[in-house]
Structure 1
Amino acid sequence: MLINLSDVMSDRHETVDETVELNMDMFQSKAGQFPIVRKNPVHIRVEHVRGKEMLIYVQTDLDIEIPCDRCLKEVRQKFVLDIKKHIDLEVPDDKLTEELDESNFIIDGYNLDIEKLLYNEILIGWPVKVLCREDCRGICSICGQNLNEGFCNCEDTGLDPRMSVVRDLFKNFKEV
């Protein structure tokens, strides 16, 4: 989804203030494809500051289904995106100051790529660990039974008695 910034960059310096529908139905990264199950319209506001400098505000929220890291049950993860970018198109990205954000990845000519901006913000806010619940037991490594739904009759024959101290540590802290 591209937003035309020619009115902001022209001599009139008109502010762009739009609410548009998000076209993205799937979030795809190296970790896999994750469906976007709920999304709200995206509110965009672009203001001229001076020269080719502008402020970009983007607000939306959406839910993405991500599998639990232990039992693979789908978990609905909420992302609230409230983005503020200060961009100067005259300054190359290698000479940016702390107050300015990179512009080359979201602005092409006079078009602002909203989906690329949202993709990057979702990627930055991606959770390190997703759990369906705090005390998730995971799945059996032998038969694949979801241990949250019941126990299995598998015997863990691969345990080395010399590792009993380490096994006790894992049992006590349960965070693997």
Structure 2
Amino acid sequence: MKIDLSRLIDRAVYKIDFEHSLNLTKVSTKTGEIALAGPVNVKGSVYKTDENMYLDAKVSYEYYENCARCLKEFVNRVETVLSGRLMETSQLLDTDDDEFVFYYDNGEVELTEQVLTSILLSLPMKALCADNCRGLCLVCGKDLNKEECSCEIQEIDPRLAKLKDLFD
């Protein structure tokens, strides 16, 4: 996904809006692959200030996930932000700021790797199919979203679990 910056560099315009779709089927990680349910949409703008150029974009995508409570497969939708300063490849970063930098060369910036990185960083730690998902029964394994079970679950404070052994 390349964005032509020549009009900004020449100061013909001060802002370039863009919208791209990346047709990816999966994203590879060290632990496996993430299957995407549709294209990755990137919408944003590149703008020029007095001395610098900045990029602000919204990345949205859908991927297949298993619910952390009931293990049902569902499609999860995530939106994240991609933003930072643009610098030419030949320039060295002379600041110690926590600012993210995108490097461009020959008047074009390539954002595919940064989009993939933002996808990986925006994945939730625990995905739920619904906020009110009840999960699986700890005893019989029934899906509590579909049916009730008659299991009795005794919650014992783990600090007092050894005392229970004295009475058994």
Tell me which interval the TM-score lies in, with the shorter structure as reference length: 0.5 to 0.7
Q: How much does 1:2 deviate? A: 1.6
RMSD value, Cα: 3.6
Question: For the structure 1 residues 2 and 88, does the alpha-carbon distance in structure 2 shift closer, same or farther, using more than 3 Å as the test?
Answer: closer
Superposed CA deviations along residues 8-53 of structure 1, whole A, max 9, x for unmatched, are: 22353553222222222222212321222134643231112234x2
Match of 1:120 in 2: 117
- What TM-score, normalized to structure 1? 0.62
Distance 1:110 1:21 in 2: 21
1:36 alignment counterpart: 36
**1:1-176, aligned counterparts within 5 Å?**
1-12=1-12, 15-39=15-39, 41-51=41-51, 53-69=52-68, 72-89=71-88, 92-93=92-93, 95-98=95-98, 100-104=99-103, 107-132=104-129, 134-137=133-136, 147-148=142-143, 166=158
Q: Alignment partner of 1:95: what SS? A: coil
Hey, what's the Cα distance between the residues in 1 that align with 2:135 and 2:106? Answer: 49
Q: Deviations over 1:26-85 (max 9, x none)?
A: 22212321222134643231112234x211121242211123346643232211133332
Query: Could you list the runs of 5+ residues in structure 2 that have no partner in the other structure?
Result: 148-155, 162-168
Q: What TM-score do the two structures reach when normalised by structure 2?
A: 0.65
Moved more, 67-76 or 122-131: 67-76
Q: Distance in 2 between matches of 1:46 and 1:137?
A: 47
Question: 2: CA distance between counterparts of 1:146 and 1:91?
Answer: 59
Contact 1:5-1:112 at 8 Å conserved across structures:
yes
Taking a change above 3 Å as real, the CA distance of residues 32 and 146 of structure 1, as seen in their structure-2 partners, is farther
Equivalenced residue count is 149
Alpha-carbon distance change, 96 to 78 in structure 1, aligned in 2, over 3 angstroms: same
Asked if the contact 1:36–1:64 (Cα under 8 Å) also holds between the matched residues in 2, the reply is: yes
CA distance in 2, matches of 1:83, 1:6: 21
| 2: CA distance, partners of 1:112 / 1:14 | 16
Q: Which amino acid aligns with 1:7?
A: R
8 Å Cα contact 1:70/1:139 also seen in 2: no
* Structure 1 unaligned regions, length at least 5: 151-163, 170-176
